[in-house]
Amino acid sequence: MSEVDDRHTIDGWPLETPLDIRKGLTDQEDVRHPLRWGIISASAIASDWIKSLQDVPGASVTAVAARDRNRAEAYARAHGVPRAYDSYEALCADDDVDIVYIASKTWDHHRDLMTAIRAGKHVLCEKPFTDTAEQAREVYAAAEAAGVFCAEGMWLRFFPAIEHARALIERGDIGDLQVVQADYPDRVYALNPAVTGFGADEMPVIAAAGRRVGGQPYAGDVPSAHGAPPSAAVLQYTEQRGIAVITFPSGRFIEETQYVGTRGRITIETPSHHPTALTVRTGRPPRRGTRKAEGRPPMELDPSDGWVGDWEETHWNPDRNPSNGPFNQVERFEYPLPNPAPITRGQPAGSRWTGERLIRYRGWTWSGGNQHGFTYQAQAVHRWLAAGLTDLPQFTRAESIRVCEIIDEINRQCGEIGF
């Protein structure tokens, strides 16, 4: 790792800075870029998305669609949405909708994505994006041909804790990445750390085991992208000399992600699919001095003073784990969500003062823990479209397709030899 003057910045930005801003691709003020959102499916997850859009100054929700008109109209009233449709096609034809958020069932995603793209709408689709990689490639090709933004809503890649971890891996703080470990019942979440760490360029060699996966009768007998826990997979990245060990449990699980390198380890703390903290362990404390540049050992035993050198003292750090020895460097970083961040589903929507205005969150109670973290991804979409770009660096189309391809192979193997 190259030595740096400030361990808590990269490219002059704080480590948790969104990748698109840090790379100069977007302007952070473009969260004010106006976008009118249309919502497909009057669902609980869409309610959380609508609430989180209130933290994006440029966002407005102009329409919602459900298969039942009464449900659509009740949902629209609850969320302060001006128009309700009983047809997804009608919503996509609305001239007052710029971008469509798809929160329908996964087996309907391909159909609903193609409907929105054919109508010339930008689109953000909940994960899993599609049930198969073939479907994903078809959707992205259609979006490319239509010149519209199309992305999978992999919100975890936009959390500050993940932005921070990505910057540390990029900077080389943990050396060469060797092992990624992750667990979560839903494969699309559990596999994401592998692609975060090793990228999408290399298709790994996969050894999978677990539940036999059957086709879905409501999806043309196509196996589900969600898979069937319990199962597991080992991904071997031969070119990069790395391994990912991914488990998809069906019971209680710790839900941590580990990035293990030659010089240290990053732990994305539980709940790692919507994290607010990470711990970084980088072995010996960082150097502060010039001994190495002068050709002297960074540390040596002096007959008068004992051990002397360029190591930075860290014994005062209360977050250090003493059991790991005197040379361990442990730092924990917390990134709490905007209040009222829900801990679990069913909590009231609530309100908060932003420093500029009071937001009273419209809609249903929160549908799950840390759902307010949708805000990070929503803000990124506005910045990206303001810049006229069609792919998000935090989670590219290539990465989205690669996750689908890995899931396809896991499903194939489990279908052949599963129990």
Q: What is the CATH number of the domain that holds 297?
A: 3.30.360
Domain CATH code at residue 70 = 3.40.50.720
pLDDT score at 62? 98
> Residue 56 falls within a domain, yes or no?
yes
State how far the Cα of 396 lies from the Cα of 374, in Å rounded to an integer. 17
173, 37: one domain:
no
Query: In which region does residue 370 sit, left (phi positive, over 0), alpha (psi from -120 to 50) or beta (all else)?
Result: left
Domain that holds residue 99: 9-156+343-393
Q: Percent of the chain at pLDDT above 90?
A: 82
Which comes out higher in pLDDT, residue 339 or 159?
Answer: 159
pLDDT score at 382? 98
pLDDT score at 284? 66
- How large is the average pLDDT for residues 251-277? 93
331, 351: one domain:
no
Q: Phi and psi of 107, rounded to 5°?
A: -70, -10
Q: Is the pLDDT of residue 392 over 70?
A: yes
74, 145: one domain:
yes
> Residue 47 falls within a domain, yes or no?
yes
Q: Is the pLDDT of residue 200 over 70?
A: yes
248, 113: one domain:
no
> Residue 30 falls within a domain, yes or no?
yes
| Closest to 389 measured CA to CA, from 144, 142, 115 | 144
> Looking at the 3D structure of the chain, how many domains does it have?
2
Handedness of CA 91, 47, 381, 103 (dihedral sign): negative
116, 248: one domain:
no
| Closest to 352 measured CA to CA, from 384, 327, 375, 329 | 375
Say if residues 161 and 335 touch (Cβ distance below 8 Å): yes
Lowest mean pLDDT among 97-101, 224-228, 233-237: 224-228
> Residue 104 falls within a domain, yes or no?
yes
- The DSSP code for 254 is -
> Residue 180 falls within a domain, yes or no?
yes
Q: Percent of the chain at pLDDT above 70?
A: 94
310, 189: one domain:
yes
The pTM assigned to this predicted structure is: 0.91
